[in-house]
Chains A and B, each alone.
Chain A
Amino acid sequence: MLELSKHKIVLVIKILFIYIKSIIKSMQKTIIKLTAIIVLAVSMYACAGNKSESIEKEIILEEVTEEDMNSIEYILPSPLQIAELFKNAGLGYIGDLTNKIDKAENYNSKYDQKLNFGVYSADMAYCIMNNQTQESINYLTTLRKLSEKLWMTDILNSIGLAERLESNVGNEDSLTYIMADLQMQMDDYLDENGMGYTGSIIFTGAWIETMYLGAKVNSADQNEKLVSRISEQAVILESLIASIKQNDEDNEYVELIADLEKINKNFDGINDESNENYTLSEEEVKILSEDVSYLRMKIIGG
């Protein structure tokens, strides 16, 4: 009985072997293809690992040979904070100063779109803080259109901005919190998508527009506190220029940097560390205003 079972087992094994052999034979071509592709995929995986290893080694070598191994990172304030500072210092509303919304159709390059997204953000903040409700909503609509071109649509939709603005008309405090939420969303979006450098360019547009509004309002009605806040912007401009330079690997912003550096020359007296409380004179504010207006015209397209 046992011997018969053994015989049966051996027979079954033989049959299985023959069956598997026949399957392998029939799938030979398929197996060869499968093997080749698996080898290729494994090579890709190994290469990715090797590449990251070699990049890591490269970085270590680079750090070892450089004298200064530490790189500084820059934080830029929100345009909202600057706008609020100026408002608190006496920035009143003058109609028709802000950038026309119909110009948004002309901004076709990413360069123009980013800068003017900042410009219109500053204009929206200016209108919100001066209770210009319809203007605020018009600028929000314009920002939506630009954000589509910049693939940033989700930012404005995610916090129900339009509805919140409309339901808080006249409540400046709530409106500024809503603007702060928008800033948060934008920073998160840019960070998650590795677009920190875009934030610097958007900020540039907003900063130039805010400085333009501040200087224009001041020229209409001289205000010491406003001049003090304008003078203080020297602190921001240095960081802004450094931040753009740091990320401008493709030299796309050479001209913009040169224009900002020209404006920065107006702050030479303030950037001198021995003059921490230096405030721009009336003449210096006038020259600064001209340089800011010149760059603003270039950004918004005359």
Chain B
Amino acid sequence: MTDSAHHRHGFDNDTYKHLAVAVRELLVEKGVITEDELAAQMLRMDARGPEHGARMVARAWTDPDYKARMLADGSAAAEELGIAVDGTLLIVVENTAEVHNLFVCTLCSCYPRAILGLPPDWYKGAEYRKRVIREPRVVLEQFGAPVADNVEVRVHDSTADMRYLILPKRPAGTDGWTEEQLAKLVVRDSMIGVAQPLSAEALIAAAE
């Protein structure tokens, strides 16, 4: 919860914590949900993380047929790798020499949780949500990923039933790498579109 949200509702953080606990206890007490269901759901949420998305990206970098299927139907491509996308539909957009994509949810904090896990705090914060839609290039620069003027910047606002995954450009110097090696380059923020994947040199240097 951001500061601005607190002020808007006039509550502090503790109030929200107490409220959440009270609602949870009531739901269990009244038999709407069980403690076991709660625990199972928490395990399910914790099991989801950016490594799912990284596997999809690495597969797309090495298998042109998979990439074509992924760009046509992101949800089906996730499920093909055993990643369940429930409730929403996944759209994958590709970064190229001509177009750089990134996504945001200006209305709230819609995020491809099935593919990337829990969103980072800045993604849910008012500053990113307000600024990236109207000055994406300034925000990209602040993230250390400036985009040249001859490349089109395309912001995807995730306002309804779609979720997004950015397919970043494959870094140079990675010819012949395996999917497992490539997946290590695919950092979370590169799949949101606010960063580039790690460079081959950076990964090799980190391993040494």
The reply to whether chain A is a binding partner of chain B is no
Residues of A within 8 A of B (CB): none
